[in-house]
A and B are shown apart, each in its own frame.
Chain A
Amino acid sequence: MSRFLPMRLMSVGRALCALLFVLALPPLEAQDLQVDVSESRGTAEIQISGGDWFQAVTGRSVPAGARLATWIGARTGFVLVESDDRALVSIGELSVMDLENATERLVFRLIVGSASVDAEGVDLVVHVGDHTITTTNATFELTPDAILVSRGQVFLEIGGSRTLEAGESALLNVDRPRPLLGSLD
């Protein structure tokens, strides 16, 4: 037996310990942003994890995966708790939206109805069907077929990327003049 064998075994052991230590470290993950309700007016409700619906009272945390519903005249505001400037997203009118992701950006998806969205100093993404709307400071109305910008600037992806300024609007489906109600074959 080689006299160097114990030293080699110690080296291999140290290497194994180092490897186990590295493997035991938690993987680097993007931290979820903490989103709280900052404003609630009218009938505004939140459904978390597909459970019961709760009134969107001020201070309630909204995790990713939550569903938000607002009634006529209602408006719900959200803040990013970690953000220095307390960035704000406000959603109102008749809408149902999902908060799909809240890691680096707030990612919503319009499920049904129309929404009035107000973003202030926050990286906001709204999916509508196959289209993506991105902004940091803007106010806009949104339906499944159209967007109308009243303040700021939004970036719209319809095939390529487009920019919409305040006062501009866009159809989200322009292949054919599809009705607002029903359908035409």
Chain B
Amino acid sequence: MRHYLVLAHLILLPLVHAGAQATDGFFLEFGATLESEASLGMLSAAVESDPLDAGADALLTSADLLAAGVDSSPQTILLNRLTLSVEAGFRLDATIVEALGSGMVHHSPGRYESPLYTTATLGPSGVRITRFPRRWDDGVLELTFGRVHLQDPSAMVVDQLVDGALAMVRFPRAFALGGVGTTRFVGRYFYDGRLVPGDAAVFASDDLFAPERILGLIRVEYGPLAGQTLGIHASFYDDRESGVGFNSVYPGIAIEGPIVGSLSHSTQAVIQATTVTSGVGLLAWTTLNYAFRPLPIDVVLETGFASGASGSLSEFTAVSPRPISPGLGITLTDLLWVDVGVETELMLFGGSEPVVPRLNGVLLFDVTGPDGWVGFEATGSFSYRILSDLVLEGSAGLSQSELGWAPHFSLAGRIEL
């Protein structure tokens, strides 16, 4: 890993120093991020395209893996990802017009037989228009055409790049977003989230790109209202094969704010419904955060529940391009989880930036009755910003769930320029 990080510094620093010029309204900015991650853990069922040789487009849930007898086989993977971006823009009065370009290289040596899995996406990624407020109580308006990022408030359900359009407006007490785009030309490595199996199946292809689906997202937020910030959002998936338009919808609510003293909360719920299959799925969770001062200790308690009325709607499958811890990485179906985390900051090695260690314990309860099971997961992790642009992150742990015992480990380095 050190090899990659040093190499990146040598290559990228001259690029950055050559950029970031701005004269007479014109500006040019470069950005670059290099990530290198070595992991041991369970691959997300929907992403590991075909671990059981079930054929292309196979959707493999945790239940499939369990039935196939590969439940306790942690996988190792090395992921390298380089993202380059360039913004050329012109500012006129209160408006900025930018042309955006980006390049992404995804490389996983030794993981796949075909070198085509070292994927690269290059080229212009869009045009962005930002209008700043003329008066202080005006809003900030931003329009983007091209490759845009759609994300719900928690990034729990939708965290997806699409090619389309995005409009955002922000006032002192309100925020609104509307975006729509297609997944067709987005490599299947550039997404995260948690979907019901029918929607997650889009990403189970052996193709470099995901099959065509149209994703829409709206968000409206307001606050403070009695000290709390309120938000509603909904994401829509269009299944082109079914020919019924936006057949799958994920509406959700989010409320967050302080409770008393140093205790604050974030509470969210997402419902999934479809016009193709009857029934709804529910994913709800609340997070309490207590800042224990003057010691730099934060205590986090998260309680969540996932359930459904029928069939596949009761499952929320994690979709991620990297191995994930088996605890909450498994398909959430009729499951109650309690996650207790303690985080602190330590000044080590004489550095100016703290090391942030965190301990997490997760209890899982299957609530389906006599066939239910109880699981747990214990994880230790850390984050350390060695330099202003260099971050190291790592985690290690052990879990026991319906899939059996499984260790997980991850070490990642990231350079942000």
Contacts and interface: CB of A to CB of B under 8 A. Distances in A.
Contact of A168 (B137, B149, B153, B261): B137
Q: Interface size class for chain A?
A: 35 or more
Contacts of B132: 174
Contacts of B123: none
Contacts of A112: 258, 262, 264, 291
Interface residues of B, number: 47
Nearest to A71: B260
B164 interface: no
Given A112-B262, A177-B140, A147 B172 contact: yes
A162 B171 CA distance: 18
A33 to B, nearest CB: 23
A182 B293 contact: no
A21 to B, nearest CB: 40
B155 A182 contact: yes
Contacts of A94: 224, 226-228, 257-259
Contacts of A93: 224, 226-227
B314 interface: no
A181 B168 contact: no
Interface in B166-188: 168-175, 177
A72 B226 CA distance: 6
Nearest to B222: A180
A65 B155 CA distance: 37
Contacts of B173: 143, 146, 148, 169
Q: Identify which of A69, A96, A178, A179 gathers the most chain B CB atoms within 10 Å of its CB.
A: A179
Interface in A158-185: 162, 164, 168-171, 174, 176-185
A45 B149 CA distance: 42
B301 interface: no
A183 B140 CA distance: 16
B258 A178 contact: no
B262 A96 contact: yes
Contacts of A147: 172
B180 to A, nearest CB: 16
Contact of A177 (B153, B170, B226, B295): B170
A141 B172 CA distance: 11
B223 A180 contact: yes
Interface in A50-105: 50, 53, 67, 69, 71-72, 93-96
A174 B141 CA distance: 10
B229 interface: yes
A170 to B, nearest CB: 4
A152 to B, nearest CB: 16
A43 interface: yes
A39 interface: no
Contacts of B136: 162, 164, 168-171
Given A50-B294, A148-B172, A171 B223 contact: no
B151 A180 contact: no
B227 A179 contact: no
B296 to A, nearest CB: 11
A7 to B, nearest CB: 57
Interface in B113-152: 130, 132-133, 136-137, 139-142, 149, 151-152
A180 B137 contact: no
B107 to A, nearest CB: 21
Contact of A182 (B151, B171, B224, B258): B151
A113 B258 contact: yes
A114 interface: yes
Contacts of A123: none
A181 B130 CA distance: 20
B151 A171 contact: no
A180 B254 CA distance: 11
Nearest to A171: B172
A51 to B, nearest CB: 9
Nearest to B131: A177
5 contacts: A94-B259, A174-B133, A176-B140, A177-B142, A178-B170
Give the 7 A-B residue pairs with the shortest CB-CB distance, closest first.
A94-B227, A146-B172, A177-B170, A50-B294, A182-B153, A113-B258, A114-B224
Interface of B: 130, 132-133, 136-137, 139-142, 149, 151-155, 168-175, 177, 219, 221-224, 226-229, 231, 254, 256-262, 264, 291, 293-295
Given A96-B262, A170-B137, A182-B151, 18 more contacts: A47-B293, A67-B262, A94-B228, A94-B259, A112-B264, A113-B227, A113-B257, A148-B172, A171-B171, A176-B142, A177-B141, A177-B175, A180-B175, A181-B175, A181-B229, A182-B152, A182-B153, A185-B149
